[in-house]
Each structure stands twice: as structure tokens, then as C-alpha cells.
Amino acid sequence: MPLPNDMKCIEISTPGTADALRVVQRPTPQPADNELVIKVSAAGVNRPDVLQRQGLYPPPSGASDIPGLEVAGEIVSVGNHESRWQVGQKICALLSGGGYAEYAVAHEDLCLPIPTPYTLIQAAAIPETFFTVWNNLFLHDTLKPGETLLIHGGSSGIGTTAIQLANSLDHRVFVTAGNDEKCRQCVQLGAESAINYHDQDFVSEIKTLTGGNGVDVILDIVGGDYVQRNIKVAAFRGRIISLAFLKGAKVELDLMPVMLKQLTLTGSTLRARPVSEKAAIARSLLDKVWPLLDNGIIAPVISTTFPLAQAADAHRLMESSEHIGKIVLTLN
């Protein structure tokens, strides 16, 4: 069946507030070699989408300017090449852009089968956070067997994913979150302790929970004044991984504890990485994580779904930080 000439999608009319997102008609994308066209059933909403809308995170060269970094749906076209994928298969995929649309193009090596128990809506919430967490914590053995993990933003998509993966691999997991309900949900997902940062000082709480040792790895999406506090609460030779900066990227630091404790401060982005690097993450996920998903040991946490046309409302919810888990856009 031939693809339609045009499709509905969400365009960023001009950098700014959520009202900058509007429904438009654009030409349906065509696959290049090693690419697939997916008829999108659902698309995940992520913080990078909000940053792109604000004009702070432009798409990489050659990527679609339509927001959306992950989708699930049905393959409707395959590029002119031999492929392990076939038209009609249902998949989820990591994208460099273009997910907020009726049709999206994905590199075949960044596509994965739908885990057995899950719907397309659930599957659309998997790629971005699972690629990110797996790459930063487990693919390169950053979080080693027996080590402890502190996650800031435990109720976020990144947080709920990291809690489950680390817990399934027998790590002690601590999180911070913004209210008691979020803390309760994090504990249900496998966190040993959840700290309400409005009422408790996570530095003193973590020191108590670890007998004064601190934590081995910290996954941080907050930034700002958390950076110095992370240094304070990190264990000897601890690793601090920055994924986002909700409280700002510019801070003044006392680096003496970094030297004395031999700490590693690092950061990570996913979108602009070469396809070969992201494909390596996909292969590792399929080997190590997909069995956990297939058996229901871990699962994407869905907060709310919105129809594609209500992408602005999805962004408003994302910016409010009132959600727990992932926000997903749905298409008929």
C-alpha cells in the first residue's frame, strides 16, 4: 500500500512556550538506505523535546526538526536494502527527531521488537529512557556489582527506569523526589529509600542510610546546587553523571573534595551520537534488558497519554513536573 503524500505532525512554529506547538501537514518522509518508515501509534514525550521547543536543543544536522525521539508503531516501508525488518512488523524505535507525527523514519539498527506483555503505547515509552539509563549505568559497567546508586528525580521517566533496572540487578537504590506520593511510588518500584527533598536534606539522609560512606554512583537530572551536594555525598571514587540541569548548568564549585575522594564527574547526551554507538546500546538492550521486559520483571511507567493534537498540553504537564513516569502522545 503506497504511503500518503502528506501527514499530520507537530511543528514548532517559533521557539517559546508550549503554545508554539501546532498541528500542520507535511510531506510523508521516505526511507533512505538502512531506514524504515513507521506508521506511528504512539510517541514518547521527553525533556529534550521541551528544550528543543524552547530553542535550547536544536536537532543534529540531517535530523527532522519535528520533535519526538521515540515511537512505536507498524513498519509500512523499508529502504532499498536487505533488512531484518519487514513491512507489517510492530516495533519501537529511537529517533533523532520526527516522532510527533503520523509517520516517522528510523534507522533499522535503532529499532527493537515490542516486548511481549506491552501495548504500543507502553512500548513508545521505552527507547529514550532505557537507551539513556542502560548506556550511562550498565553498558560500560559504570555501576559495578554491589555498588549503591542515588537517583535525583526518581519519579521521572529516567528515574523510574533507573530504579527498576538497578533493583533488578540487586543494587541498593536511593532516590530524591518532590512529594510523598512520588516517594511512595519510587519505593514500590524498588527504591530502598525515597527522600522528599522539600522536607529532608538528601546529603544527611544518604550519609545515615550508608553508614557515612556515601553512594558509589549518582544519576543527576537536577544540576544547580545539587552538584556540590552530590560531591559531598559521593563515596570514595564515586561517579557523578549529569544528564540534565533543571536547576541550571552554571555553578560555582569547591573541587577539593573531588581530588581528595578521587571522584569522576561526567555527563552524557544521546541524540547526536553516531548511529553505530546507539546501535551498540540497542544490541545490548535486546540481549540484557528485553528478557526482563518480556517477563514483566520491569515495565515502563506511564503517567498520562494525550492525543497528538494536544502535544502542547503534554509539554505543560512535563514542565509542571507533576507526573510520575512517562508522558505519551497517541495517534489513531
pLDDT tens-place string over residues 173-183:
999 999 999 99
Q: For the chain, what is the domain count?
A: 2
Q: Do 97 and 171 belong together in one domain?
A: no
Yes or no: say if 331 and 152 are a contact pair by the CB < 8 Å rule: no
> What is the predicted pLDDT for the residue at 1?
62
Instruction: Work out the average pLDDT over 76-86.
Output: 87
Measured CA to CA, the distance from residue 200 to residue 73 in angstroms comes to: 43
The Cβ of residue 81 has, within 10 Å, a number of other Cβ atoms equal to: 11
Q: Do 100 and 174 belong together in one domain?
A: no
- Which residue among 267, 288, 321 closes a domain? 267
Task: Decide if 194 is inside a domain.
Answer: yes
CATH classification at residue 224:
3.40.50.720
Q: Do 173 and 222 belong together in one domain?
A: yes
> What is the predicted pLDDT for the residue at 80?
75
Q: Do 252 and 286 belong together in one domain?
A: no
Q: What is the mean pLDDT of the chain?
A: 96
Residues 239-277: tens digit of each pLDDT? 999 999 998 899 999 999 999 999 999 999 999 999 999
Task: Decide if 236 is inside a domain.
Answer: yes
The Cβ of residue 201 has, within 10 Å, a number of other Cβ atoms equal to: 12
- Quote the domain boundaries for residue 154: 130-267
Measured CA to CA, the distance from residue 319 to residue 328 in angstroms comes to: 14
Amino acid at 204: S
Q: Do 170 and 116 belong together in one domain?
A: no
Instruction: Work out the average pLDDT over 111-118.
Output: 96
- Looking at the predicted structure, is the pLDDT value of residue 332 above 90? no
The pLDDT > 90 percentage for the chain reads 95
Task: Tell me which residue of 52, 72, 56, 221 sits closest to 132, measured CA to CA.
Answer: 221
pTM: 0.96
- Which residue among 267, 297, 315 closes a domain? 267
- Which residue among 267, 290, 305 closes a domain? 267
Place 2 in a pLDDT band, splitting at 50, 70 and 90.
confident
Measured CA to CA, the distance from residue 103 to residue 97 in angstroms comes to: 12
Q: Do 156 and 283 belong together in one domain?
A: no
Task: Decide if 176 is inside a domain.
Answer: yes
Measured CA to CA, the distance from residue 112 to residue 89 in angstroms comes to: 10
Task: Decide if 309 is inside a domain.
Answer: yes
> What is the predicted pLDDT for the residue at 82?
77
Q: Do 38 and 147 belong together in one domain?
A: no
Q: Do 115 and 85 belong together in one domain?
A: yes
Which residue in the block uniquely carries the three cell numbers 506483555? 117
Measured CA to CA, the distance from residue 26 to residue 8 in angstroms comes to: 7
Task: Decide if 320 is inside a domain.
Answer: yes
Q: Are strands 234-242 and 264-267 parallel, antiparallel or unpaired?
A: parallel
CATH classification at residue 318:
3.90.180.10
Q: Do 235 and 155 belong together in one domain?
A: yes
Residues 25-45: tens digit of each pLDDT? 999 999 998 999 999 999 999
Task: Decide if 198 is inside a domain.
Answer: yes
Provide the grid cell at 186: 519510587
Least confident of 14-28, 74-88, 211-225: 74-88
Task: Decide if 248 is inside a domain.
Answer: yes
Yes or no: say if 32 and 99 are a contact pair by the CB < 8 Å rule: no
Task: Decide if 1 is inside a domain.
Answer: no
Q: Do 263 and 135 belong together in one domain?
A: yes
Q: Do 245 and 171 belong together in one domain?
A: yes
- Looking at the predicted structure, is the pLDDT value of residue 120 above 80? yes
Q: Do 185 and 228 belong together in one domain?
A: yes
